[in-house]
Structure 1
C-alpha cells in the first residue's frame, strides 16, 4: 500500500514536467514548419487567424463534454479576461514576434525568446507572485542558477554556430540576406524591440493565466474562448500587411497542412498543457521549459527539413538541458521543504492537542 502511494506521488510530482517538455518539443516542430510556410509569402496574421479558429473548433467538443457540469457561469468580466488573454498570449504576441523576425533574423528573435524564463521570473518578482525571500534559500538559489544556465545555453545555441557537423548543403543566399538585414542598425534595433515586446507579452500572459485559472478553472473552455477572441484579433491585425481578400484563399497543400498542424498541436494542445502546467506549479516553472522549444526546432530542422546542424547547436542544447535539471532540482528541494514544514506543523498541532487533553484529564 505504501509503495503504491509513493508511486502515485512520484507520478503526480513529475507529470507537469513531462507535459511541459512534450508541449515545448511539439512547439519546436510547429515553429520550424511555420517558418517554412512563411517563406512561401503568406500573411503571417492570416496563418494566425486560421490557427486560432482551428484551435477553437477542436476544443469546443472537449469543453462541452468534459466541463459542462463544472464550468462556472460566464460573466462580462470573464469575457473581458479571455479577450485580454487572447491579446497577450496569441494575437499581439504573434504579431510582434513575426514582425521582429522580418526586421532582424531568426537567430536574433530566437535569442530574445530564450529570455522568457528571466523576464517571467523578473515580472513575477515585480508583481509579487514569486517571494523574494525564497531566493535566499538553497532551493531559490538553485532555481536562479538553473534559469541562468538555461538562458546561457539558449543564447549559446542561437548566437554561436561553430563548424558544421553534417549536411553540407548550406543556405548561402539566406545567410547573406540575414547578414544584410543585421547590418542595417536602425531596422535591427527596431526588430529587437518588437521581439522583446513579444516575449514580454508572452510572459505577462503566463502570469495573467495564473490568476485566470483561479477564477475560471476550466482549461478546455478557457483556451477555446481565448482562441475565438484571438482569431478575430488576428484577422484585424492582418489588415496591417494586406487588405486583399484573395490572401485568405490558400491553395498550397503544404501551407494548409502546416496551418492545421499548428492549430491542433501548436495552439490547442500546447495552450491547454501550458495552462495546466501554470496551474500546477506556477508561471515561472512553465516558462523555464522554453529552451526545449529551441532544441526541438533545431533537431526538427536537421532530421525532417534537412537544415545544416552545427556544433554550437549541440553544445547549447546540452547546456540548456543541464540548466533545466538544476532548476527542477531546486523546485524539488522547495517542494520537499514545504512538505516537511507542513508535516512539522501538523505534528506540533497534534502534540499540542495531546498535551492539552492530558492537562484537562489531570484537572
Structure 2
C-alpha cells in the first residue's frame, strides 16, 4: 500500500489546478457584477495587472534572489522559437494516450455546449426569470454571436499563453518573478489600450468602496498573482496540457455561483455541457494515471539491470599495500628458483 505522504504528493498538482479554477470562477463572477455596476472593462484590466505587479514583485524580490536567473535575449528567443515543443507525451497506440486525446475533445465539446446550447429553462426559485425577456431580443442574439467569437479568440490566445509560459518556466525557473514580469508587461500593454480609448473619460478611472474596487483587487491578487504562480508551478512538473485540461471546470463553477449570486437563469443545455466536461476530465485523468503506472512499471523493470551493473562496477579493488605484498612473494619465489 502506498504511503499517505506519497499519495498527497501525487495529489498536489490536481488540488492546485482545481483551486486555480475556483479562483478563476470567482474572478469571472465578481468582474461581471462590477461591470454591471459601471466599471469600464479596459480600466479593470489596467488596475488588475498593476495591482498584481505591486503585490507579487516584493515577494519575488525577497524569496527568489538566489534562484532567479538573468533575463537574457537567449531566454527570450527560446520563448519565441520553442513555443510548440515539449508539450505532452502521446503515443496513439497506447490506450492511455487515446483516453487523453478523447477526453480533451470531449471536454472542449462540453464547453462549446455550455456556451452555444441553451435548451429549456430550469425553474429554480432563486433565479431572476425577468432576464429571459431581454435575452430573446435580436440585439442580444447578436451579442451572443459576438461573445462566442470573442471567447473562441480568447481560448486560442490563452492556449498560446499556456505554451509560452510552460516553455519559459523551464529556462526561467522563478515562478514569482515570472508572474511579476507577466503582470508588469500586461499592465503596460493594457494602459496603452485603455488610455487610447478611455483617456478622455476621467470618470471611467474612478473606483468606489464597492464591487468596482473589489474586482480589481481580487482579479489582481488572486487571479493574476496567485493563479499565475500556481499555473507556472504545475506546468513545471506536469506540462501545459495537464494545466489547461481543467480550464472547462471553471465554466461549471461559474454557472453554479452566478445562478446563486447574480440570479442568472440556468439552462438545461449548460447542465448537459457540464456533464460532458466532467466526463472528458475523467477520461484525461484516467489516461494520466495509466501513464504514471506504465512509467513506474518500466522503472521497476530497469532496476534489476541497473543493480547488476552496479554490482559489477562496485567490486572491491586491490589496495596498493596488497599489491606490494604480492610482488614481494613473486620476487621471493624467483630468487629461490
Q: TM-score, normalised by structure 2?
A: 0.82
Distance in 1, Cα, partners of 2:150 & 2:211: 28
Shift of 1:298: 0.7
2:174 to 205, 218, 243: 218
Shift of 1:183: 4.7
1:47 to 17, 36, 44: 44
2:136 to 151, 176, 195: 176
1:250 aligns with 2:207: yes
Shift of 1:163: 2.9
- 1:80 and 1:130, CA in 2 relative to 1: closer, same or farther beyond 3 A? closer
1:260 equivalent in structure 2: 217
Distance in 2, Cα, partners of 1:148 & 1:17: 20
1:234 aligns with 2:231: no
Runs of 4+ in 1 over 4 A off after TM superposition: 76-82, 190-194, 352-358
Distance in 1, Cα, partners of 2:39 & 2:310: 70
Shift of 1:80: 8.2
Distance in 2, Cα, partners of 1:78 & 1:174: 51
2:20 equivalent in structure 1: 23
Distance in 1, Cα, partners of 2:266 & 2:113: 14
Distance in 1, Cα, partners of 2:189 & 2:298: 47
1:143 equivalent in structure 2: 100
Name the count of aligned residue pairs. 311
2:330 equivalent in structure 1: none
Q: What SS is found at the alignment partner of 2:262?
A: coil
Distance in 1, Cα, partners of 2:135 & 2:11: 41
Distance in 1, Cα, partners of 2:100 & 2:311: 39
1:99-110 matched pairs, under 5 angstroms: none
2:32 to 32, 35, 38: 35
Does the Cα contact within 8 Å between 2:259 and 2:266 map onto a contact in 1? Answer: yes
1:129 aligns with 2:87: yes
Q: CA RMSD in A?
A: 2.9
- 1:147 and 1:155, CA in 2 relative to 1: closer, same or farther beyond 3 A? same
- 1:35 and 1:346, CA in 2 relative to 1: closer, same or farther beyond 3 A? same
2:278 equivalent in structure 1: 321
1:303 equivalent in structure 2: 260
Shift of 1:249: 2.2
Does the Cα contact within 8 Å between 2:30 and 2:211 map onto a contact in 1? Answer: no
1:65 aligns with 2:62: yes
Measured against aligned partners, the alpha-carbon deviations of 1:281-336 in whole angstroms (never above 9, x if no partner) come to 01011111011110111111012222223333333223312221221110011111
Q: What SS is found at the alignment partner of 2:123?
A: strand
Q: TM-score, normalised by structure 1?
A: 0.76
Does the Cα contact within 8 Å between 1:54 and 1:260 map onto a contact in 2? Answer: yes
Does the Cα contact within 8 Å between 1:37 and 1:255 map onto a contact in 2? Answer: yes
Listed as ranges, the gaps of 5+ residues in structure 2 are 316-337
1:153 to 98, 110, 114: 110
1:285 aligns with 2:242: yes
2:123 to 154, 157, 165: 165
Instruction: Decide which structure has the larger Cα Rg and report it.
Output: 2
Distance in 1, Cα, partners of 2:32 & 2:264: 12
Distance in 1, Cα, partners of 2:170 & 2:314: 39
1:342 aligns with 2:299: yes
Measured against aligned partners, the alpha-carbon deviations of 1:195-228 in whole angstroms (never above 9, x if no partner) come to 4332211111111111111111111111011111
1:14 equivalent in structure 2: 11
Shift of 1:140: 0.2
Distance in 2, Cα, partners of 1:277 & 1:238: 32
